[in-house]
Chains A and B, each alone.
Chain A
């Protein structure tokens, strides 16, 4: 049964690490701009250069 001691410590520290992650996310304002982050993620990281314009106008 002494395994219980280890398990209790393990479970609390895992849950504790989630709590720390939550506090960290609040501290670093990660909930401040939820819409923006969602869009930013979908954008390509290509650095805009002087490439010639190659867009089809939907006319």
Chain B
């Protein structure tokens, strides 16, 4: 909300110098697209405005200024034709009875209250839609519609026309997503909290003894009530501790839950015994307290980021259907049903679904997501193209050579790195589990010694001291200090732009000694940076230039076209592209040359180096410099990391920037170029076999193997909700500058946990020594337990926040993110 409110202020400053689009706030290149006094950056934005205006939905623009998304990239008309295929459509419905259907779409573009308002008033745009509801956190809109009035294809196309294109991928078909919110745990938490509170209240008379003048019959009543209240805590809320402990024991493992389960069982049985035999009041207050606080700890630690997914694979990247050419004409086919020899039609910007041979047309393939190579690769008829590439250009016809699951890209997922369960592995190596193992053994042997001692000296005291010992020494303090420290660290990390999959990642980050970077998209922005020197083009000239370079296959032309944005096309009287030289075009009396300096101006110039494009329009010469742009924080981040880690680079791209990269990395021996996805994976594997703990930072599918193989795989994303391959953490590219500090915090995490554990150990030692000597009074134990628990929680939270604050990290969430 705050971000949204601040927006207009920023915009107003800009407005003085340039006209911005009324719909999306993008600067308008040409000021020709207008309705009344409202300027638009492109026809797409204008169209959205017109539709909303006609339907009286212009409140959309009053809630936020420029709430829309730029519509500069038009969506092809028949892109969603496959939704007419009943089989595919029915896989998307969450409910349908033939006349009324419900469907949920993920819409990445949702970002402000205007979006919500519009998406919840879809029924004003089409009467077939009966209801629409947006889950803002998950960016999912659920639409109820009547099948007789509107088809699912029309619903999707309506969303597209108003600028909210849903993201429909192969992942949406089949397994419906499991809700991450753990309801069972919340019920357990609520019930144990309720019981804990009431048991505490009714235990107060016991704490103060008979000095309050409570009569005996009331004391009995309170104890009985306590017992009743403790039952759901023991049998329901605490059940997960018993289950995990039992599972561990079956595998001959003593996990952290084992001593806790033991302590809970002993506390409960001793309390039941005391209450039933009228010998005491038991420790039901401590028992329910432990269970409650531990459940709180786990709930806080496992809170998940709803709109972020850490488990995406190629399925989320692929479309769900493609157009196929059959004997009966053009139809659509579910991508999973594609077979060898199927003929598929691919349009501009379509993703190649499976390895195939081109049978008609010339393709230009953007493999950047698969290989990291940023330049378009031209492929002619008869040649093989690989799944995962994006086709750019006119429609082509291809014949599938391998089914989707067997193609080059997807075979990466069959590598054994993907069969490992990193989550389980991390858990079993965790410091808490190691500590708890020793702790349990030490505790058990101490208990045995105490039991033997009292059995020899005073058998009547044996049971009491042994049980008291187990109760007091319950390692819940250890578990609490770890869970609350981790929970707070997770929170601090996310406030500073890194979203971790779970707490075990922090520990892994602390162990890392080698960091490997990807280049394209990670160190550089996805798009090339273009700057212009010399003659500044007029709007008319810009649209000439755009028209001239648009259909050229050269990467520089592509970059130029992208830089100029969508401009009105002009008809040339003459157009020719001379390979290795440039483009020459004529329009009316004007001559246009684009390309090398000798070609455009007839003179060889010193400034003619790779990355420079000369443009000569009617003897006015401008020079465009095209360079991949490094993210601004990169030098800072590298400098911050260099002293602690060995840094290396794996790029799928060519080595033309080796020099500048060498400066960032401090050396250039570890800069590797032209790396295939599988090379990256092997590189990480080799490092690991030499004993290194490797962190991989990448962004695309081409890094997926390396991300999976590494000890910690971090995906860098400009928008944390956009597509990211499976990884352990997602880093917001805008906050990359905080990364070195966060790594430092991760290194301190072990110390933080040990510190709060040390303090909790102090309580335990005091409690234990008293219990061992049989001096521990029930009242004292009852008070000590909750006090130590609470203080551990506060200390764990406090120390970690303090350390993070000292490092200059944001410990409070800024609502901008």
Contacts and interface: CB of A to CB of B under 8 A. Distances in A.
Contacts of B121: 48
B61 interface: yes
A4 interface: yes
B215 interface: yes
A7 B691 CA distance: 66
Interface string A1-19: 1001100100110011011
Contact of B201 (A4, A11, A31, A51): A11
B194 A26 contact: no
A29 B797 CA distance: 28
B194 A49 contact: no
B1 interface: yes
A31 B299 CA distance: 14
Contacts of B186: 26, 31
Nearest to B16: A59
B181 interface: yes
A4 B113 CA distance: 52
A4 B205 CA distance: 13
A57 to B, nearest CB: 6
A19 B22 CA distance: 49
B540 interface: no
Contact of B218 (A4, A44, A50): A4
Contact of A15 (B38, B134, B138, B194): B194
A8 B225 contact: yes
A32 B137 contact: yes
B201 A55 contact: no
Contacts of A12: 198, 225
B37 to A, nearest CB: 6
Contact of A55 (B55, B56, B62): B62
Interface string A27-59: 100011111101110111010111101010111
Given A4-B218, A39-B113, A59-B15, A48 B187 contact: no
Interface string B165-203: 000000000000000010100110011001001100110
B124 interface: yes
A19 B218 contact: no
Interface in B2-29: 8, 11-12, 15, 19-20, 22
B56 A51 contact: yes
Contact of B181 (A31, A38, A53): A31
Nearest to A27: B183
Interface of B: 1, 8, 11-12, 15, 19-20, 22, 37-39, 53, 55-59, 61-63, 65, 113, 116-117, 120-121, 124, 134-138, 181, 183, 186-187, 190-191, 194, 197-198, 201-202, 215, 218, 221, 225
Given A19-B190, A43-B63, A51-B56, 8 more contacts: A19-B194, A32-B135, A49-B56, A50-B55, A55-B58, A57-B38, A58-B15, A59-B15
> 4 tightest CB-CB pairs across the interface, nearest first?
A36-B136, A50-B56, A19-B194, A39-B113
Interface of A: 1, 4-5, 8, 11-12, 15-16, 18-19, 22-23, 26-27, 31-36, 38-40, 42-44, 46, 48-51, 53, 55, 57-59
30 contacts: A8-B225, A12-B225, A15-B197, A15-B198, A16-B194, A19-B190, A22-B190, A23-B190, A26-B183, A26-B186, A33-B138, A35-B136, A36-B134, A36-B135, A39-B116, A39-B136, A42-B113, A43-B116, A43-B117, A48-B56, A48-B57, A48-B121, A53-B58, A55-B58, A55-B61, A55-B62, A58-B11, A58-B15, A59-B19, A59-B20
